[in-house]
Chain A
Amino acid sequence: GNSVTQMEGPVTLSEEAFLTINCTYTATGYPSLFWYVQYPGEGLQLLLKATKADDKGSNKGFEATYRKETTSFHLEKGSVQVSDSAVYFCALSDTGANNLFFGTGTRLTVIP
């Protein structure tokens, strides 16, 4: 079946620190992978995506590479800001499935 396993957190970092949030997946077909971000009191916003193996998605300084050999899609950012404080969700869509499968979310708090 389809599932996403995500680093639980919470994660607390100082401003300008390096961020990694781990995400691994299982899928039966040829999935696309997504990172969504949820700021306090808001809905989910698409942060980045990758649609095939070795693709790198990037946006706002965040990056994630679709690694088929390790079934991973880890989120990274070189220097976090206070404004990056949010909950981050890894998700996949798969051929033959009609909905997104989400990880449990990782709360990131960045302190000045």
Chain B
Amino acid sequence: GEEVAQTPKHLVRGEGQKAKLYCAPIKGHSYVFWYQQVLKNEFKFLISFQNENVFDETGMPKERFSAKCLPNSPCSLEIQATKLEDSAVYFCASSQSRAVNQPQHFGDGTRLSIL
């Protein structure tokens, strides 16, 4: 499609439950990025993919967070055993290439609320 599509828009989970977020990048874009936006608007980079391959996962909390981008499926970000501190808005972005001058195009985000 012409836009990055993220689902669901809002997800509520009890502490300790699993949360799974989805992202369909813009058609033809090879790179997908996940960011976490926490209080005071701070953006934290989590992980990026080049097609279905992990490109950079330096921002991912290793223990409970995982992500995939499989062919012909939306990309996903999964959080096991959620904690209160995981409450945030998770943004997905895609870009055509990793060239420095290529902008990333963002979805509307998924607001994750952990109760």
Contacts and interface: CB of A to CB of B under 8 A. Distances in A.
Contact of A51 (B4, B55, B98, B100): B100
Contacts, number: 58
A88 to B, nearest CB: 10
B105 interface: yes
Nearest to A34: B103
Contacts of A3: none
Interface of A: 29-32, 34, 36, 42-46, 49, 51, 87, 89, 93-95, 98-100, 102, 104-105
A99 B41 contact: no
B43 A32 contact: no
A87 B107 contact: no
A42 B6 CA distance: 11
Nearest to B47: A99
B103 A49 contact: yes
B101 A49 contact: yes
Given A30-B100, A32-B101, A98-B55, A43 B48 contact: no
